[in-house]
Amino acid sequence: MSEYICPHCGNPIYDDDALLCMYCGESLKRDVGVFGKIKYTKPKIIIMTVVGLIVLSFVLLVIF
Ligand SMILES: [Zn+2]
């Protein structure tokens, strides 16, 4: 379960499926919240995935 920060009131939302903020009732705008999610919730996982892909492609480049 990931934490999502409401763009309106700044409170953390712990429900992944929630479309409305439980504090202020505003829409969480999940459709445009992808970048917000990357920014606020899982920066380490994104960076690790990118680094992993770079390392993997480098290893493949060395092998072939
Ligand atoms: Zn809110």
Number of folded domains in the chain?
1
Determine contact, residues 28/7, Cβ cutoff 8 Å.
yes
Determine contact, residues 20/26, Cβ cutoff 8 Å.
yes
Distance 13 CA to ligand 1 centre (A): 8
Distance 19 CA to ligand 1 centre (A): 11
Give residue-wise pLDDT tens across range 16-35: 778 888 889 888 766 555 55
Average pLDDT of span 3-28:
85
pLDDT band, residue 13 (cuts 50/70/90)? confident
Percent of the chain exceeding pLDDT 70 equals 75
22 is in which domain, residue-wise? 4-63
Distance 26 CA to ligand 1 centre (A): 6
pLDDT band, residue 54 (cuts 50/70/90)? very high
